[in-house]
Amino acid sequence: MSGFAAPDEVLPHRPPFLFVDRISRLETGVGATGHWRLTGEEWFFSGHFPGRATLPGVLMCEAIAQVGAYAVLTDPAHAGKLPLFGGIDGARFRRQVVPGDELELVVDLGRMSARAGKGSGRALVDGAVACELDLMFVFVDA
């Protein structure tokens, strides 16, 4: 148990589109670390790819963003807001992620205003980078 609120208590996402199982580090408004264990039973593996199940890269990007949203939404300054993707820059995929892997999702937030923000994130498996990116988001009313 991490001592932090469960992701579904902070994030508006719900299965099958909630990709964060737990949070292990939180610096409200600054950054967070979350985890996603892939069992192989996830809906996308049967079609991506039959015989060689691989986590789609765009879902890694989304999982990183969800951890960033967790760090943002725990800040009272953003109560009643919803951070939406404004852009993804420099996304690089460094290794295949397969059933049985656990992603460690690390996000550090950068410049933030009342209307938007930036951050950088990475997904790691056993300490090896699987994905890294810079993200931008805008706030809308929830």
How distant, in Å, are the alpha carbons of 29, 44, 57, 58, 65 from that of 33? 13, 24, 19, 19, 11
At residue 62, what are phi and psi to the nearest 5 degrees?
-65, -40
Instruction: Indicate the SS3 state at residue 132.
Output: strand
Residue in this structure with the two tokens 């460094």, named with its chain if needed: 94
Run of H or E including 60: helix 57-73
How distant, in Å, are the alpha carbons of 2, 40, 99, 105, 137 from that of 77? 24, 38, 38, 24, 15
Angle value at C-alpha 140, between 139 and 142, nearest 5 degrees:
120
Active site residues: 48
